[in-house]
Amino acid sequence: MNYYYDILINLEEEYYEFYEWEKKDEIIPIKKIPIYKVDHQTILDFLQYEITISNSLLTELIDKTIVKNSKEKLTCLLLTDSKTTLCVELNKNGKVIYKSKLLVEDENNINEISSSFSLTQVDYQTGKLLTKRNNLRRIEKEINIIKLELNNLRLNKNDEKCSYLYYELFHDFNNNYLDKIEKMNEELNKASYKVIHRLYHLINLTNKEKLI
């Protein structure tokens, strides 16, 4: 078994590219981790489906990943096709529970050294297809906060704030309260990142003013 050393990972249920990592994420410094070179289809399967590896492979991987400056050991695996690298963590049944993409420098290093590795046929089963995220992590969060705010406006019937947000979004007036809420919700599905971010910013401003 090949190993890779000294790497940072950000294990999440839904993996994020390095440029989407946030300060609050638990970035784990790994001292030593198993690495397998696989074909590109294997990488695609691990990215797109629920995955459970075989018991025999799980036995090889249990507690083989060592966390730096810690006694903690994980059951993880690096998969690479020498173009794309993915880190996965497994539960006791061999199911992938967390994933992590890598920092650019780490991925480039792995792509280079793995070119000399022999190809490994990883034994696994695919489950259901995972829902694909269409937006960046930040945009998804902003959309969710806007939708929550619109739902609160629907419940609280704050027409002044509702009209303010509606005008900022559409540059128009509408006297029908529920219609304004409905149209703003619909617009979120097709609005540009710039519009979404502005609406999110306005909601934050109005909420802060309310607290002062």
pLDDT (tens digit, 9 = 90+) per residue, 74-102? Answer: 999 999 999 999 999 999 999 999 999 99
Hey, is 64 helix, strand or coil? Answer: coil
Q: What is the mean pLDDT of the chain?
A: 90
- How do residues 22-51 score in pLDDT, each as one tens digit? 888 999 999 999 999 999 999 999 999 999
Q: Which two tokens stand for residue 58?
A: 């799980």
43 near 86, Cβ under 8 Å?
Answer: yes
pTM of full prediction above 0.85 = no
Amino acid at 101: K
Tell me how far apart the alpha carbons of residues 90 and 27 are, in angstroms, rounded to a whole number. Answer: 17
**What is the mean pLDDT for each group of 10 consecutive residues in the chain (212 residues)?**
95 89 92 97 96 96 96 96 97 97 95 94 95 76 87 87 85 87 84 82 73 38
